[in-house]
């Protein structure tokens, strides 16, 4: 057991006993797929959900009982956009530490991006991640690269990566500059019904800039990344998807213009989904006046107007998914350097639920059903993986959320190896208090 001073307890897989029976009582069970929102009991045996009903089965004798009074019992959350850094940068994060952070954040599964070293661009590397995932507290779904080495020159072998478990393709961290190559990638992915996850950025427009191009960047004397650098590539990739009929998913949407383009494409029937991240709905470029390197990410924090457009797009359904874009860095890449020399990226697995509850649910912008759809149901549907429901017979991947508890973000108490959070010191309301993965309690949070 790995304990923290604030009552967090995480149970690594190699310390767990065989799957026992678990009873979850007195909780508000929210399961959008089955239209459930009621005070019910959930019974788990041998890793499967065996009952969701007002009372536990008469012959059911649990090994463990979870009292979920005042809490929500929901399908296990999934973060479909994380960077686990392994192989290659295990000083920043490992597959084990990253999935521990996921469990502590309430996530029973994550999809990991391919920009590791070496890149996840062929069968053996996808297989390596999956095998490492067998030792972890949450499931891992690898995303294979679109192009070999992320070099944008030659397509990776999609077929062999799908065969061993890749659930999508992306060159995340950069766009595929060649429209012809991107068109071929979309045609190829279509045969597997696997989404292409698009990092939308025109590198020529971005240049070597460090924050959003705006009045704030001018005032700070910083080179700016224009919003059009994202929007041009969003428009191009949508047009290619419309032409080929392939599925695309736009990653980390950050601008009002991108929202408008995506909304119009959905109205035309383009096969497109998209995501944004907690930092884009909470912060803006005005938060960079202190040159806080932990708020430097790509895409960058945009204007307050962009932030409001993203919030409205979440509420209105244009944005399908909320993901963290968890991107760990060591201190020498972030904390101990000038802003212009700092690496792009922030972590978010252990703060996502708190940020979404505090800034969206408790403000009445979305309800709990919508939150669970965007953080469990829709990501699983996009990736074509199981879960997202508490149906009888399903694997017992369950998140128990305390929506009312107040807590303060302290990166020293994270399970992630890195501490580059944009929310240090934030006062939040709500967090995951128990995570059940494949019928095992892997994480608890409460009184020591």
User: Does 388 map to a domain?
Assistant: no
Determine contact, residues 402/92, Cβ cutoff 8 Å. Answer: no
Here the CATH number for the domain that contains residue 68 is 2.30.40.10
Other beta carbons within 10 Å of 84: 29
* Same structural domain, 111 and 212: yes
DSSP letter for each residue of 63-80: SEEEE-TTSEEEEPEEEE
* Same structural domain, 160 and 191: yes
User: Does 133 map to a domain?
Assistant: yes
- What 3-state class would DSSP assign to 30? strand
How many domains, the chain?
Answer: 2
Here the CATH number for the domain that contains residue 98 is 3.20.20.140
- List Cα–Cα distances, 172 to 33, 67, 95, 141, in angstroms: 30, 41, 18, 15
* Same structural domain, 171 and 84: yes
* Same structural domain, 175 and 255: yes
User: Does 134 map to a domain?
Assistant: yes
- List Cα–Cα distances, 308 to 22, 256, 305, 311, 360, in angstroms: 42, 8, 5, 5, 12
Final residue of a structural domain among 357, 383, 409:
383
* Same structural domain, 150 and 214: yes
Residue 267 has what pLDDT?
Answer: 98
Determine contact, residues 109/143, Cβ cutoff 8 Å. Answer: no
Q: DSSP assignment, residue 87?
A: T
* Same structural domain, 50 and 88: no
Given 171, 320, 325, 402, which residue is catalytic? 325
User: Does 99 map to a domain?
Assistant: yes
Sequence-distant (≥ 6) Cβ neighbours of residue 17 within 8 angstroms: none
Closest C-alpha to 438, from 398, 410, 396: 396
* Helix runs in 140-255, H state only: 158-164, 179-190, 203-206, 215-220, 227-244
- Residue at token pair 């297989």: 127
- List Cα–Cα distances, 374 to 157, 256, 369, in angstroms: 30, 19, 9
pLDDT tens string 206-218 = 999 999 999 999 9
* Same structural domain, 299 and 404: no
Other beta carbons within 10 Å of 362: 14
CA angle 50, 55, 57 (to 5 degrees): 45
Residue 370 has what pLDDT?
Answer: 98
* Same structural domain, 67 and 101: no
Determine contact, residues 447/52, Cβ cutoff 8 Å. Answer: no
What is the phi/psi pair of residue 446, to 5°?
175, -155
Q: How far apart are CA 400 and CA 199, in angstroms?
A: 32
Sequence-distant (≥ 6) Cβ neighbours of residue 6 within 8 angstroms: 407, 410, 413, 445, 448
Final residue of a structural domain among 336, 357, 383:
383
User: Does 389 map to a domain?
Assistant: no
Determine contact, residues 150/173, Cβ cutoff 8 Å. Answer: yes
Domain that holds residue 432: 2-74+395-445
Determine contact, residues 152/176, Cβ cutoff 8 Å. Answer: yes
Q: Kindly state the percentage of the chain with pLDDT values over 90.
A: 95
What is the phi/psi pair of residue 73, to 5°?
-115, 115
User: Does 390 map to a domain?
Assistant: no
For residue 292, cis peptide bond before it (omega within 30 degrees of 0) = no
- List Cα–Cα distances, 357 to 47, 89, 116, 143, 350, in angstroms: 28, 32, 31, 28, 13
Determine contact, residues 350/104, Cβ cutoff 8 Å. Answer: yes
* Same structural domain, 6 and 128: no
* Same structural domain, 407 and 321: no
With a cut of 70, which residues of the chain have pLDDT below it? 14-18, 447-448
Other beta carbons within 10 Å of 160: 15
Final residue of a structural domain among 359, 383, 407:
383
- Residue at token pair 């012959």: 59
Residue 444 has what pLDDT?
Answer: 96
What residues are paired with 198 via a beta bridge? Answer: 250
Q: Could you confirm whether 121 is annotated as catalytic?
A: no
- Residue at token pair 């809490």: 71
* Same structural domain, 91 and 28: no
Determine contact, residues 132/86, Cβ cutoff 8 Å. Answer: yes
> In this structure, is the dihedral angle defined by the CA atoms of residues 316, 318, 323 and 328, taken in order, positive or negative?
negative
* Same structural domain, 376 and 409: no
Q: DSSP assignment, residue 155?
A: B
């Amino acid at each position: 057991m790995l304990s923290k001073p604030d009552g967090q307890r995480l149970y690594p897989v190699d310390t767990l006993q065989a799957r026992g029976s678990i009873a979850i009582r007195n909780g508000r069970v929210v399961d959008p797929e089955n239209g459930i929102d009621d005070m019910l009991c959930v019974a788990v045996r041998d890793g499967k959900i065996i009952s969701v009903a007002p009372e536990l089965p008469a012959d059911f004798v649990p090994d463990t009982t979870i009292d979920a009074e005042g809490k929500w019992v929901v399908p296990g959350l999934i973060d479909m956009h994380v960077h686990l850094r392994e192989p290659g940068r295990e000083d920043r994060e490992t597959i084990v530490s990253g999935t521990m952070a996921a469990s502590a954040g309430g996530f029973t599964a994550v999809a990991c991006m391919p920009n590791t070293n070496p890149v996840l661009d062929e069968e053996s590397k996808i297989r390596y991640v999956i095998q490492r995932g067998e030792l972890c507290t949450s499931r891992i779904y690898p995303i294979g690269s679109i192009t070999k080495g992320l070099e944008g020159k030659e397509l990776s072998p999609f077929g062999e990566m799908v065969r061993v478990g890749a659930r999508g393709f992306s060159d995340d961290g950069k766009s595929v500059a060649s429209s012809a190559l991107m068109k071929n990638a979309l045609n190829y992915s279509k045969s597997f019904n696997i989404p292409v996850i698009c990092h939308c950025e025109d590198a020529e427009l971005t240049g070597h800039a460090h924050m959003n191009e705006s009045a704030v960047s001018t005032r700070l004397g910083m080179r700016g990344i224009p919003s059009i650098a994202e929007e041009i590539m969003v428009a191009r990739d949508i047009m290619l998807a419309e032409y080929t009929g392939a599925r695309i998913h736009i990653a980390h949407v950050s601008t009002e213009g991108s929202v408008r383009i995506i909304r119009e494409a959905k109205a035309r029937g383009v096969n497109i989904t998209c995501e944004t991240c907690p930092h884009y709905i909470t912060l803006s470029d005005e938060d960079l006046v202190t040159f806080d390197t932990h708020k430097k990410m790509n895409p960058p924090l945009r204007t307050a107007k962009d932030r409001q457009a993203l919030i409205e797009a979440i509420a209105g359904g244009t944005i399908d998914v909320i993901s963290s874009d968890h991107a760990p860095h060591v201190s020498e890449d972030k904390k101990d350097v000038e802003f212009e020399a700092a690496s792009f990226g922030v972590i978010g697995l252990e703060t996502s639920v708190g940020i979404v509850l505090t800034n969206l649910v408790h403000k009445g912008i979305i309800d709990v059903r919508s939150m669970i759809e965007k953080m469990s149901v829709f990501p699983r549907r996009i990736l074509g993986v199981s879960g997202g429901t508490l149906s009888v017979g399903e694997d017992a991947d369950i998140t128990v959320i305390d929506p009312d508890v107040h807590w303060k973000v302290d990166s020293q108490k994270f399970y992630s190896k890195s501490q580059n959070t944009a929310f240090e010191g934030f006062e939040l309301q709500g967090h995951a208090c128990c995570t059940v993965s494949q019928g095992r309690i892997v994480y608890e949070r409460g009184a020591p």
